[in-house]
Structure 1
Amino acid sequence: MAKFSFKLPDIGEGIAEAEIVAWHVKVGDEVEEDQGIADMMTDKATVEMESPVSGTIVELNGEEGDMLAIGSVLAVIETDELPDEEEEAAIADKVKAQVDDEPEDADEAEPEPEEPEEETAVEPEPAAEAEPKPSTEEAKTRVLASPAVRKRAADLGVDLSQVKPQTGDRIRHSDLDQYLTYGATYLTPGASKKRDDEELKVIGLRRKIAENMAASKRHIPHFTYVEEIDVTELEAARADLNATRGDRPKLTVLPLIIAAICKTLPEFPMINATYDDEAGRVTRHGAVHLGMATQTDTGLIVPVIKNAQDKNVWQLAMEIARLSDAARTGKATQEELTGGTLTLTSLGPLGGIATTPVINRPQVAIIGPNKIVERPAIVDGELAIRKQMNLSISCDHRVVDGYDAASYVQALKRLLETPVLIFAD
């Protein structure tokens, strides 16, 4: 028997280290060639490290959350036959290909993209034929959750078939948190259940989010401005567009908001900008590369709609659906996740009265539309029920003055309240 030291291969240009986000084996386990032994996270992707030989794990170097330098020993495997240099080179090439091509945590079933905003009316759908309810065992096998959620549930001894997703069909970390906090009755108002304290190591994407948000708040003096917008006419226009859409995608309100954002930005170039702290230089961008904050099972990811100013509302709707799906299934490329000049964030059906979103550094602004609700309003001296939406904008006060932010939102408000102007030349 010989001992093979599996060293972390070069997994991408410019990558010096990777984080251990999950071990799939432990010391003493028997492994087969090409069996996954660990998940390693880089700035580009999460890559599964596969054993290049069959044998027994005799040593694992590092714990989940530890950073490992390229070339360091990841695991030591006792094996009958050591790979030659050509085989080791093939292993490295295979891992590099994973960084460029493979999803980060693709599920066995792809979810439908969530509607990015709360709608006040739901169009009736054709009634589907009733299907027999699956048995308990069948229900367990049909639970939708990411591998990370499944692993955490298994470690905690939680049966995912007992966890109720709060939105959609997929169980997320937040649903698991609610179940752990309140038990099976967590959807019942007033229910409570004591549980033991739980310490969680901040690793993987969650750690990167924490680092980026801390840097943003540390470096950027934020201020937030909130305005109420009457979107009654906008919603009516959206309904008319959907009624004649043909085979084009159904419009949510977000493509219309994005179109209005792009139309107003030329007069307010300081909003669509990035700030280089070290160089002391602000770049006002002509093209609108709009980041779209998307919640995934592993955390918040911001894919970018490139050249959003050149797209019509139907093209924007298709791009929103495509990028949201790519982000949630881990298929978004590095090109699709970088280069944003302005970010739009929406809490979807959770809505809220107002938000104070954190700027995606080095950008200088982030816009957050909130839930559309019906409220009483005075229109031409008469009381009327109108559809209202609060809209928030957070800005970098080093670049954007309060007056400029307020002026921009007022220009955006004018277009959203008179949607024909969105389509006017």
Structure 2
Amino acid sequence: MARFTFKLPDIGEGISEAEIVAWHVAIGDRVEEDSPIADMMTDKATVEMESPVTGVVVELAGEVGDQVSIGAALVVIETDAVESGDEVVAAPPTAAQAETAEQYEAENPGVEEVATETPSPPRGEGQPQAETPATAPTPHPSPLPAGEREQKAHALASPAVRARARDLGIDLASVKTDADRVRHADLDAYLRYGSGEGYHPPHASRAREDQPIKVIGMRRRIAENMAASKRAIPHFTYVDEIDVTALEAMRADLNANRGGRPKLTMLPLMIVAICKTIPDFPMLNARYDDEAGVVTRHGAIHLGMAAQTDAGLTVPVIRDAQDRNVWQLATEITRLAEAARAGKLAPNEMGGGTITVTSLGPLGGIATTPVINRPEVAIIGPNKIVERPVFKGDEIVRAKLMNLSISCDHRVVDGWDAASFVQGLKKYLETPVLLFAD
């Protein structure tokens, strides 16, 4: 028997550490080569690490939520490998380990080195061989019974589904699915009809148990980014009302004659209006490096679009939005939203934005005060469209109205500039034929 130390490889350029967001093994589990052992999250992506060898897990680096430095031991596995001197020959990196945060299909450095077998103490003639003491393991959840471990190994699910099942106390192996892996819908069905720990049938008391939830993974990143934004940026928000009656009528006509093109929502039309207005207000399409004291006004518009996912809010970026027409924007919005929900955004699709739009769609409410996506200096929030009577001269007519919010960094953008920018947007949205005029 020999011990193999799997050290956390470099899973993203410039990354010094990664967070443990899920363990797929426990001490005492037997793992097969290429089977998943942990999900590790960086600022850019979540990467599933796979075991390069077959053996029994004897040490884990820590608990879910802990940070592990690049090059530090992640898992120690006792293998049946044939020894070569005092070393165990390392297996080459697996496909999942080659999937990095910088480029999901690029090859990563893999395992850095191999630990040697712990030598046995000398023994006298006729004495039994003494057992080699194992290094004290890092605290971790108790190992599962062998039968449960075998079932768990066959329960396929995404990291988000695994995390939710863990929080609910559900054994994924007991959840039925008609797909190739357990989905959120399968967990919902299990909660409704099953009898696991996460299922609470109706009873006399309607009070639910307290549920402490550790802030880890994507939720931790969101918390840190939002706190840093509010701490560093003096926000102000301006709200104005826009009559989108003509815009909505035009959108209906475009959708009725779209052919095989994607259905238009309000968002691509809003983005076209933003791209046409920004050249007159370049300070809003900017990023502020407050440590260097430098504001960079960007020529290209790399527009972030806030998207809600099961793991939390993420902001994929539409590159060079100013060069795309309304149909191309609709296609890109759909593609990025689906990739975000599936957790398959590439690193270059998650950063480098110059201005952001955040919309709650039908839930948009009367007005919002969105938080700026630092180091950007502005974020735009269209709100819910409502139908109300309005005066047109001496007549009262039916109109579709929408409040538009914008939050700005007051260190860079003055209130007059923000209000003027929204008035520019209003011109395009209330006279939508201008959206298609050069």
Per-residue Cα deviation, 1:293-333 (whole angstroms, up to 9, x for no partner): 11111111111111111111111111111111111112211
Q: How does 1:287-366 map to 2 (within 5 A)?
A: 287-366=300-379
Residue type matched to 1:292 in 2?
M
* Distance change in 2, residues 1:255/1:306 (3 Å): same
Could you tell me which residue of structure 2 aligns to residue 148 of structure 1? 160
The 8 Å contact of residues 53 and 82 in structure 1, kept in 2 or not, is answered as no
* Distance change in 2, residues 1:24/1:264 (3 Å): same
- Quote the RMSD (CA, aligned, Å): 3.4
Could you tell me which residue of structure 2 aligns to residue 247 of structure 1? 260
Largest Rg, 1 or 2: 2
Could you tell me which residue of structure 1 aligns to residue 35 of structure 2? 35
Amino-acid identity (%): 69
Instruction: Tell me which moved more, 283-292 or 216-225.
Output: 283-292
The 8 Å contact of residues 304 and 340 in structure 1, kept in 2 or not, is answered as yes
The 8 Å contact of residues 238 and 251 in structure 1, kept in 2 or not, is answered as yes
CA distance in structure 2 between the aligned counterparts of 1:386 and 1:201, rounded to whole angstroms: 47
CA distance in structure 1 between the aligned counterparts of 2:394 and 2:200, rounded to whole angstroms: 51
CA distance in structure 2 between the aligned counterparts of 1:371 and 1:302, rounded to whole angstroms: 20
Could you tell me which residue of structure 1 aligns to residue 99 of structure 2? 97
* Distance change in 2, residues 1:91/1:281 (3 Å): same
Give me the TM-score of the superposition, normalised by structure 1: 0.80
The 8 Å contact of residues 182 and 193 in structure 1, kept in 2 or not, is answered as no
CA distance in structure 2 between the aligned counterparts of 1:376 and 1:22, rounded to whole angstroms: 53
* Distance change in 2, residues 1:375/1:8 (3 Å): same
* Distance change in 2, residues 1:24/1:159 (3 Å): closer
Query: Alignment partner of 1:226: what SS?
Result: strand
Q: How does 1:126-165 map to 2 (within 5 A)?
A: 147-157=159-169
* Distance change in 2, residues 1:15/1:175 (3 Å): farther
Could you tell me which residue of structure 2 aligns to residue 200 of structure 1? 213
Query: Alignment partner of 1:376: what SS?
Result: strand
Q: How does 1:1-400 map to 2 (within 5 A)?
A: 1-81=1-81, 88=90, 90-91=92-93, 95-99=97-101, 100-101=103-104, 147-157=159-169, 193-400=206-413
CA distance in structure 1 between the aligned counterparts of 2:352 and 2:296, rounded to whole angstroms: 13
- 1:184 Cα deviation after fit: 7.8
Query: Alignment partner of 2:48: what SS?
Result: strand
- 1:241 Cα deviation after fit: 1.2
The 8 Å contact of residues 53 and 83 in structure 1, kept in 2 or not, is answered as no
Residue type matched to 2:36 in 1?
G
Aligned length in residues: 374
The 8 Å contact of residues 98 and 105 in structure 2, kept in 1 or not, is answered as no
Gaps of 5+ in 2: 107-156, 176-182, 192-196
Instruction: Tell me which moved more, 92-101 or 28-37.
Output: 92-101
Residue type matched to 1:23 in 2?
W
Query: Alignment partner of 1:56: what SS?
Result: strand
Residue type matched to 2:40 in 1?
M
Residue type matched to 1:250 in 2?
K
The 8 Å contact of residues 23 and 39 in structure 1, kept in 2 or not, is answered as yes
Could you tell me which residue of structure 1 aligns to residue 149 of structure 2? none
Instruction: Tell me which moved more, 62-71 or 83-92.
Output: 83-92
Per-residue Cα deviation, 1:324-383 (whole angstroms, up to 9, x for no partner): 111111221111112111000011232211111000111100000011121222222222
CA distance in structure 2 between the aligned counterparts of 1:182 and 1:415, rounded to whole angstroms: 51
CA distance in structure 1 between the aligned counterparts of 2:12 and 2:33, rounded to whole angstroms: 23
Query: Alignment partner of 1:101: what SS?
Result: coil
* Distance change in 2, residues 1:181/1:95 (3 Å): closer
Give me the TM-score of the superposition, normalised by structure 2: 0.78
The 8 Å contact of residues 293 and 303 in structure 1, kept in 2 or not, is answered as yes
